[in-house]
Chains A and B, each alone.
Chain A
Amino acid sequence: MSQIKPDARQAIPATDSAVSVRNVSKVYGDVQALKDLTLDFPRGELTSLLGPSGCGKTTLLKIIAGLLPATSGEVLINGRAVTGPGPDRSFVFQDFALMPWATVLRNVAFGLELRGVAKSEREAVAEKYIAAVGLAGFEQKYPHQLSGGMRQRVGLARALSVKAEVLLLDEPFSAVDEQTRRKFQEDMLELVQNEKKTFIFVTHSIEEAVYVSDQIAILLPRPSRVSEIIRPASFRDKGVANIRRDPEYLDIVDRIWASLRNYVE
C-alpha cells in the first residue's frame, strides 16, 4: 500500500540523504510544535534526535513516519514526498505496541501479514529476525510472558522483518531497565553495521545519543528548531567496550549538556 507520490522529483540535489526534512512546521491549535525545520539524514547512518522534552522530536519522527501530517513543508524519502505511512519506513514504538493476543511469531510477522505475504513465507522471515534479535525459542510465547527488554526486541524484529529502508525508533529503550538498555545500545551499533539501513533515533538520553549515533541533531524548544548537528569522528571503530571512556565521547557528552542545561525545567 504505497502512499508515496509517484512523481519522481529529479530536481532534488544528489546528496546521499535517505530522508530529507524540508522547512517542516507543525502547529497544534495555537502551539507551534515545529517551526521551519530542515534536516538531512544520511543513508546507512544512525541519526539521533536529541533534546529536552517538548522540543518536538517525537512529533518530527511521526511526521517522517507519515503518522502525522505536517502543517507546512515536506519530508522526502529518496527524493519522493511522504503523504502517509509507507513500506519504505518502519516504526519502533516506545511502549512496544505489541498485540497481547498474538504470539511473538505472529507479532513479528504482522507487518508482512498486513502486506499479504503468505503465512509460511512471512513466518520464515519472522523466525530469522527473532533469532537475529536474540529471542530464538520464544516464538510461541505471548508478550505478557516476556520482560520489557524482550518485548522491545520483538518490536525491533517486527520493524526489521518488513525490510524497510528507514527505521524510525521512538525512545525505544526508555521503558527498559538500565542494564538491558546498555546491552541494547551495543546491539544497536552492530545492527547499524550489519543492516545497511538508515536509522532515525529519538532519545532524551545524551549518553545514549552519543554512544549510538553517527550524527546527532540537537533540537531546542520555543520555537522548536535544530540548534546544532554533531558528528562524532573518532571513537566509532574502537569497539563497544571502549567508547564510554574515549575522550571525544566524554567531550561531546559535556558539550551537549552545556547547551541543553538551560532548557531543563
Chain B
Amino acid sequence: MILFGYKLPALSSLILWALLWEVVGRLELTFFVPPFSEVVTTLIALIPTPAFLSALGITAAAFGAGVFFAIVIGIPVGILMGKSRVLDELLLPWVNIFLSAPLTALVPVLMVLFGFGTRTVIITTTLFAIWIIILNARAGVKQINRSLVEMARSFGASPLDAFFKVYFWAALPEILGGVRIGVIRAVKGVIIGQLLISIVGFGALFELYSSKFLMAEFWAVLIVLFGLAFALSEFLAYLERKVSYYASSRG
C-alpha cells in the first residue's frame, strides 16, 4: 500500500484497526472489549504461564497428529481416486458429502465413540482437513498430462515408481493447494473439537476465561490462535508458490 508517496510495509493497516480497538476499549462501552494495550500486556504475561504453554502444547500435538493423518491418508486416497475409475465412483459421493457437511454436529457422536480426550480432537481435526486434501489430490492427478503417463509406461515404470516419481510430483501444485486449505480447516477442527469437549487445551482455557469474564485473557488467546493460523497459511502459500512455476509450464 502506498500512502502520501510512502510505501507502507505489509499488514500496516492492522495498526489502524488496533488504534480503533484501543479507542473503543478506552471508551468503556462494554466489558467485552478491553483496550487493545491491555490485551497485549495480558498476552505477554500469559504466554510464559504453564496453563497457556500446556494448552498450546496439547493443541499443537492434536493439530499436528490430525493434519498428519489427513495428509498421509488423504493424498494417496485422492491420487488413487484420480487413477481408478471404480474407486472414484465408490468414494466421490462420500467425499463431497463430508466436504460440505456441518462436521461440528458430528463431534458429539465422536465424543461418545472415542471419549472426551485428545483422540476425539485428533479425529475431528482429521475430519475437517481430509476431504479437501482428497479432492485436490484427485483433481491434480486427473489433469496430469497424458503423455507424461505414457512416458512413464514406455520407459518401463513399475506402478510404484510411476506413483512416487511421476504422479505425485505432477499433481504436487494441486496437492499443496489442498493441504493449505486443509490445514486452515484443521485449525477450525482442533479448536471446535476442544471447545465442544471443553476440558482440554485451549477449549479448557476459553471455557475458564469466558465463564469468569476474563476478557483480556480471552482476546489474548484468540489473537495468538489467529496469528498462528495465519502464519501457517502464509507458510504453506509460500511453499505453493515455490512449485507453482511448473504448474504453468506443464503441458
Is A229 positioned at the interface, with any CB of B under 8 Å from its CB? no
From A14-22, A31-39, A84-92, A207-215, the one touching the partner chain is A84-92
Tell me the bound Cα distance from A185 to B158 in angstroms.
Answer: 34
Which residues B123-147 have CB closer than 8 A to chain A?
145, 147
Chain A CB count within 10 A is highest, among B156, B158, B170, B246, for B156
Is A70 positioned at the interface, with any CB of B under 8 Å from its CB? no
User: Are B156 and A93 in contact, CB atoms less than 8 angstroms apart?
Assistant: no
User: Are B249 and A67 in contact, CB atoms less than 8 angstroms apart?
Assistant: no
Is A65 positioned at the interface, with any CB of B under 8 Å from its CB? yes
Chain B residues whose C-beta falls within 8 Å of the C-beta of A111 in the assembled complex: 155-156
Is A139 positioned at the interface, with any CB of B under 8 Å from its CB? no
User: Are B249 and A91 in contact, CB atoms less than 8 angstroms apart?
Assistant: no
Shortest C-beta distance, B145 to chain A (Å), equals 7
Chain A residues whose C-beta falls within 8 Å of the C-beta of B249 in the assembled complex: 100, 143-144
Interface of chain B, main secondary structure: helix
User: Are B246 and A89 in contact, CB atoms less than 8 angstroms apart?
Assistant: no
Chain B residues whose C-beta falls within 8 Å of the C-beta of A91 in the assembled complex: 150-151, 154-155
User: Are B150 and A97 in contact, CB atoms less than 8 angstroms apart?
Assistant: yes
Knowing A99-B166, A144-B246 are in contact, say whether A1-B151 is a contact too (CB < 8 A).
Answer: no
**Which residue of chain B has the shortest Cβ distance to A111 in the bound complex?**
B155
Knowing A91-B151, A99-B166 are in contact, say whether A115-B156 is a contact too (CB < 8 A).
Answer: yes
Shortest C-beta distance, A22 to chain B (Å), equals 21
Is A66 positioned at the interface, with any CB of B under 8 Å from its CB? yes
User: Are B147 and A114 in contact, CB atoms less than 8 angstroms apart?
Assistant: no
Is A248 positioned at the interface, with any CB of B under 8 Å from its CB? no
Tell me the bound Cα distance from A114 to B152 in angstroms.
Answer: 9
Is B4 positioned at the interface, with any CB of A under 8 Å from its CB? no
Shortest C-beta distance, B161 to chain A (Å), equals 6
User: Are B148 and A97 in contact, CB atoms less than 8 angstroms apart?
Assistant: yes
Chain A residues whose C-beta falls within 8 Å of the C-beta of B152 in the assembled complex: 114
Is B153 positioned at the interface, with any CB of A under 8 Å from its CB? yes
Picked from B150, B157, B172, B243, the residue with its CB within 8 Å of the CB of A67 is: B150
**Which residue of chain A has the shortest Cβ distance to B250 in the bound complex?**
A100
Shortest C-beta distance, A118 to chain B (Å), equals 16
A residues touching B (Cβ–Cβ < 8 Å)? 1, 62, 65-67, 85-87, 89-91, 93-97, 99-102, 110-111, 113-115, 142-144, 158, 162
